Amino acid sequence: MVSRRAFVGAGAALAGVAAWSKTSAMSLPDAPIMEDASTQPPLAPSAGPDYNPVVTPNGWTLPFRMNNGWKEFHLIAEPVEREMGEGMTAYLWGYNGQSPGPTIECVEGDKVRIFVTNRLPEHTTIHWHGMLLPCGMDGVGGLTQPHIKSGKTFVYEFVMQKSGTFMYHPHADEMLQMAMGMMGSFVVHPKDPTFMPVDRDFVFLLSAYDIDPGTYVPRVMEMTDFNMWTMNTRVFPNIDPLPIGLNERARVRVGNLTMTNHPIHMHGYDFSVTCTDGGWVRPEARWPEVTIDIPVGAMRAFEFDAHVPGDWALHCHKSHHTMNAMGHDVPTFIGVDKTSVAKKIRQLQPDYMPMGTKGMADMGEMSMPIPDNTIPMMTGWGQFGPLEMGGMFTVVKVREDLAKGDYSDPGEYEHPPGTVAYEWTGELPMAAKAPDAPVKTGSLEQKSATPAKASDHSGH
């Protein structure tokens, strides 16, 4: 997890614009790049209508400039190196130095112009998922526009017809380009700042990769068997927490660009689903949940009032999605006595240790040698021991003493005395025993061979 100090310094990671864009294209807005995978502070609006900016855990927000009433952004599609977690970097494709790309934020009614420069080795486009716009701005290569060839820059212009939660991704060689990490969040704030206000607003995209341990590039042809299940292209234990002040209202926006659904579950709270990529959910249509399934190619936002302090897990409820790199063809050894076979193997390999006979929790504590550039399947430590998690898992940290707008990791929760589950060390009563069942006479065959007379059922 990023420390408070590292977080404060992280803003400096926003690197300056490349000399290229200043000299060769005077009219293009800056295209800042991000070199850091830690959560960047929210970007307050520098012009135009006011809003409470979103925070992208392990991500950042793209600055804009105003030009004659238009909000102008500049995205650069390019190969990137993304630190998925400590000790593992993936060679992906993304935008402005990272995958996911920067979050784009604007306000309902804004006129937005987005320059897209292609520095990939093949053509691309950008589709603005969920946006209401002229057909020719929809970004479907071949269908609504010519592809953006390598080295070219295209311009998208449209008016934000409604507020809500959206995303962007290519619609050109889509299977490969999304498997390589090309995606970003797009949040449009309501024009009326009193509509659905929250104190903390988080956004992340779920994506999945198949990266063999020891390698760097995802296997883009994989359809189902992924080993990196990510939130904003980051895996536990290196997904930054979601810090929330006690009694603040919080919104979490989640989009799914994997090829399966993700039931996102939050501990300690019930919440309301308030927004989808189709729009805001009317108050009378909301319902309470503790798990919200995020369908493929969809976004959901949920809200809650943070009235209970603590470290509350927030994770996908598919248990294989809270694991990191693992082999799926490992046999199950639960209950198998491997003592004698272990003895034989130790004659050849003295430090051999049989695993999996009592379960797999041992793996969370053990540091086994692993190949370069991968992350153990079950990992992470809390104040009470190993978490035995990975993948799509993070922690909502609700704290009384959190300053407004402070998104640094507040550390581990200090439980009030007497509020933590504890070991019973007294006497245990003998287990109650059911009385002996009456001894049955005769076998099943005998019974079926002598069917009851119809009169036996007369009392029914």
Complex with Cu ion: residue 316 or 378, whichever CB lies closer:
316
# binding residues, Cu ion (CB under 5 A): 4
Contacts of 181 (CB under 8 A, 6+ apart): 80, 82, 90, 92, 93, 94, 99, 100, 207, 209, 218, 233
What mask, x for binding Cu ion by CB under 5 A, covers residues 59 to 98? ----------------------------------------
Q: Which stretch binds Cu ion (CB under 5 A): 86-94, 249-257, 308-316, 370-378?
A: 308-316
Q: Which stretch binds Cu ion (CB under 5 A): 311-319, 334-342, 358-366, 395-403?
A: 311-319
Q: Which of 298, 296, 292 is nearest to 316 (CA)?
A: 292
Minimum distance from residue 206 beta carbon to Cu ion (Å): 7
Complex with Cu ion: residue 84 or 316, whichever CB lies closer:
316
Q: Which stretch binds Cu ion (CB under 5 A): 119-127, 256-264, 371-379, 401-409?
A: 256-264
Minimum distance from residue 299 beta carbon to Cu ion (Å): 15
HSE, CB side, 13 Å, CA atoms: give it for residue 199.
19
For Cu ion, the binding residue among 45, 318, 338, 370 (CB under 5 A) is 318
As a whole number of angstroms, the distance between CA 103 and CA 418 comes to 42
DSSP, res 347: H
Complex with Cu ion: residue 93 or 226, whichever CB lies closer:
226
Complex with Cu ion: residue 3 or 319, whichever CB lies closer:
319
Q: Which of 414, 101, 38, 395 is nearest to 252 (CA)?
A: 395
Q: Which of 83, 80, 87, 115 is nearest to 101 (CA)?
A: 80
- Collapsing DSSP to helix, strand or coil, 176 comes out as helix
- For position 316 contacting Cu ion by CB under 5 A, the verdict is yes
- For position 321 contacting Cu ion by CB under 5 A, the verdict is yes
Q: Which of residues 186-245 bind Cu ion (CB under 5 A)?
A: none
Complex with Cu ion: residue 128 or 271, whichever CB lies closer:
271
DSSP 348-390: HSTT----SSS-STHHHH------SS---SSEEEETTEEEEE-
- For position 320 contacting Cu ion by CB under 5 A, the verdict is no
- For position 262 contacting Cu ion by CB under 5 A, the verdict is yes
Minimum distance from residue 365 beta carbon to Cu ion (Å): 25
- For position 315 contacting Cu ion by CB under 5 A, the verdict is no
As a whole number of angstroms, the distance between CA 424 and CA 454 comes to 57
Complex with Cu ion: residue 81 or 293, whichever CB lies closer:
293
Minimum distance from residue 291 beta carbon to Cu ion (Å): 11
218's tokens: 């995802």
Contacts of 106 (CB under 8 A, 6+ apart): 48, 64, 71, 112, 160, 188, 189
Q: Which stretch binds Cu ion (CB under 5 A): 9-17, 181-189, 321-329, 452-460?
A: 321-329
For Cu ion, the binding residues (CB under 5 A) are 262, 316, 318, 321
